[in-house]
Structure 1
Amino acid sequence: MNHSERTFRNVPEGTDFSERPWRNGLFGTSLEERTFQNVPRGTIFNKNGDRVVHFYNWTEYLLKFFKTIPNILKYHHFTFHMNNVGKVEIKEKVDGNTQIIDIKKDNDIMGFPREIFPEKLSAKRQWYLYEQVRQHIRDSQKQDEYCPLPNIEKPKSN
């Protein structure tokens, strides 16, 4: 594997993969087929109540060291080179013109982002998940895990 260069491609929203022969490759892999280091999907706490998934404010952290890319949504191809740290090649299309832009600020990269602690779901949200989303989960055990009956009074509708 070549670690001296990394290319990221963003697929535009609304792209239809159903007629593509290569859709069963990377894009055809479903979440059901993937594993996440033995952590059940959608779970941030283990059976003992200990948090096993941590969230960090990467946006806040990275903005200290990197500039934003103007009009980023129009670009779909980004290449970073080990020998050109702080610069990124951007293209709108795979066969389009390449622009190289400097995204690194003068600050030395140090530290680690601040941890974010998820807020508890509101009563309104818990009841919405139970009444509207639960029915769409095929596995009954997953229904109880993801959309359990709330143990809080249902809020009155306005």
Structure 2
Amino acid sequence: MMLLGHTKFTPDWHFGVWKIKWRQSDAECMEDIAYTVKASSRSRHNIPQRVNDPSRPVVFLNWKTFLENYFKLLKNITKYYHFRCTADEPRVLICREFCDSEEVRFNLLKARPEAGCLPTVKVIPPLDHLRQWYLYEKIAPFFINEVARDIVCPKPSIPK
């Protein structure tokens, strides 16, 4: 349930459109899921972004560590529901608990980041062998398509 005065985020609607298509499918691997995303909209505005697609790489960056160098932490952020910034005060975040509450100003900027400076690439570790064995023994039996099963839950090469 949303608070009074809030609006829905547009991508939520697109996710809802995809969810309808997803319920009618029997997708068992990422390729199948990507197809349901593409097929969920007539105008093809839902586009899957696959992590291991070399033509459209998805790179994960370590934003948390990077931003800690430049911004202060806003304590009790969950009690605020209204946020705004202005061009007149670019370092200041203006917050309100509710639309009719008094505004509170926070200077969040510690230092200005250099132009073009990006965080380091986050390396995603592979699944450990215990997790691989769990998927193979507990999840793989539910697959209908053997090819999909071998892609998603292959037999681990490391003995148990």
Which TM-score bucket, shorter chain as reference?
0.5 to 0.7
Q: Which residue of 1 aligns with 2:148?
A: 144
Please report how far the alpha carbon of residue 98 of structure 1 lies from its aligned counterpart in structure 2 after TM superposition.
Answer: 1.6
Identify the match of residue 86 of structure 1 among 88, 91, 97: 91
Please report how far the alpha carbon of residue 124 of structure 1 lies from its aligned counterpart in structure 2 after TM superposition.
Answer: 2.9
User: Does 1:74 find its partner at 2:74?
Assistant: no
Identity %: 23
Please report how far the alpha carbon of residue 87 of structure 1 lies from its aligned counterpart in structure 2 after TM superposition.
Answer: 0.5
Secondary structure of 2:113 counterpart: coil
Measure, in 2, the Cα distance between the counterparts of 1:54 and 1:71: 31
User: Does 1:108 find its partner at 2:112?
Assistant: yes
Measure, in 1, the Cα distance between the counterparts of 2:108 and 2:123: 29
Q: Tell me the amino acid that sits aligned with residue 132 of structure 2.
A: Q
Please report how far the alpha carbon of residue 144 of structure 1 lies from its aligned counterpart in structure 2 after TM superposition.
Answer: 2.7
- Does structure 2 conserve the Cα–Cα contact (< 8 Å) formed by 1:124 and 1:155? no
TM-score (norm 1): 0.60
Measure, in 2, the Cα distance between the counterparts of 1:134 and 1:103: 51
Q: Which has the higher strand share?
A: 1
Measure, in 2, the Cα distance between the counterparts of 1:100 and 1:16: 24
Q: Tell me the amino acid that sits aligned with residue 75 of structure 1.
A: Y
Measure, in 2, the Cα distance between the counterparts of 1:71 and 1:109: 25
Q: How has the CA–CA distance of structure 1 residues 24 and 55 changed in structure 2, closer, same or farther, with 3 Å as cutoff?
A: closer
Structure 2: state its 5+ residue gaps. Answer: 19-39
Secondary structure of 2:152 counterpart: coil
Which of structures 1 and 2 has the bigger CA Rg? 2
Q: Which residue of 2 aligns with 1:54?
A: 59
Q: Which residue of 2 aligns with 1:29?
A: 14
Q: Which has the higher helix share?
A: 2
